[in-house]
Amino acid sequence: MLSKITCMNCHYCHETCIRKGKQKTVQIYQCKSCLKYQRQDYKYRSKLIEDQQLIQLVKEGCGIRSIARVLTISNSTVLRRILKIGRSIKRSPTVSFGQTYQVDELFTYIGNKNNRVCVAYSLNAKTKEVIDLVVGRRNKTNLKRIISTLLLSDAKQITTDKLNIYKELIPVRIHSTKNRGINHIERQNLNLRTHIKRLNRRTICYSKSATMLLAVVKIYFWS
């Protein structure tokens, strides 16, 4: 009896699938192993692309068009899927109490080179985990979002550059601006510029929206 309802192999884990109802006139199958629902044939190839494939290509520095070429799907599908993944990602590391942190920002642009924005984030100096990040102008409002998280975690020390805004946000007793005090996060800045094409210097690749830039950076740090 089972042979009559076993019709295909799973697109994802290649185990046996069985018939499981219909969607309009199209037969739907369910994998007995991973329990995913699927069709035997898809009109659009993007249905077979898993999020992990997109994440891996983003972290390898591929741009939107190069990802679309590799996966043979449309540019708009890549954009839509990356934004969806970015929105679903929550801040990954657990904020520990009494730790030492480094805070810094790197500049890029959105849309055109006159629209300059920064990616500001905080890094645990011991574990090298990124704690929080924000994309926008380098002003007191945005940097306060980064610093507030660290202050709530009873930070032992927060090391920054000598930007005056930090002096207003961080208590003097835990604020450090010593020479070479942010080497770890400066190295992470280099990793970002190396691995994410839209953050490269002198590149023709750039973000058209802050939402897309934030999604890509979240994928790089926390997925």
Q: Tens of pLDDT along 149-199?
A: 999 999 999 999 999 999 999 999 999 999 889 999 999 999 999 999 889
Cβ atoms of 198 and 216 closer than 8 Å: yes
Let me know if residue 50 belongs to a domain: no
Beta strand spans in the chain (E): 6-9, 16-23, 26-31, 37-38, 100-109, 116-124, 130-136, 157-159, 175-176
115 and 35 in one domain? no
Let me know if residue 170 belongs to a domain: yes
Q: What is the mean pLDDT of the chain?
A: 89
Confidence (pLDDT) at 45: 67
Confidence (pLDDT) at 192: 94
pLDDT one-digit tens code per residue, 40-53? 776 666 777 889 99
Domain housing 10: 1-41
104 and 37 in one domain? no
Confidence (pLDDT) at 159: 97
Domain total of the chain? 2
Let me know if residue 58 belongs to a domain: no
Confidence (pLDDT) at 6: 54
In this prediction, residues 75-82 reach a mean pLDDT of: 93
Let me know if residue 219 belongs to a domain: no
194 and 110 in one domain? yes
Spatial CA neighbour of 210 closest among 202, 198, 201, 193: 198
Let me know if residue 83 belongs to a domain: no
CATH code for the domain of 106: 3.30.420.10
Q: Is it the case that residue 89 has pLDDT exceeding 80?
A: yes
Let me know if residue 173 belongs to a domain: yes
108 and 34 in one domain? no
Confidence (pLDDT) at 93: 66
182 and 114 in one domain? yes
127 and 36 in one domain? no
Confidence (pLDDT) at 3: 39
120 and 24 in one domain? no
Cβ atoms of 16 and 3 closer than 8 Å: no
Let me know if residue 91 belongs to a domain: no
110 and 37 in one domain? no
pLDDT one-digit tens code per residue, 124-143? 999 999 999 999 999 999 99
199 and 109 in one domain? yes
In this prediction, residues 91-113 reach a mean pLDDT of: 88
Percent of the chain beyond pLDDT 70?
94
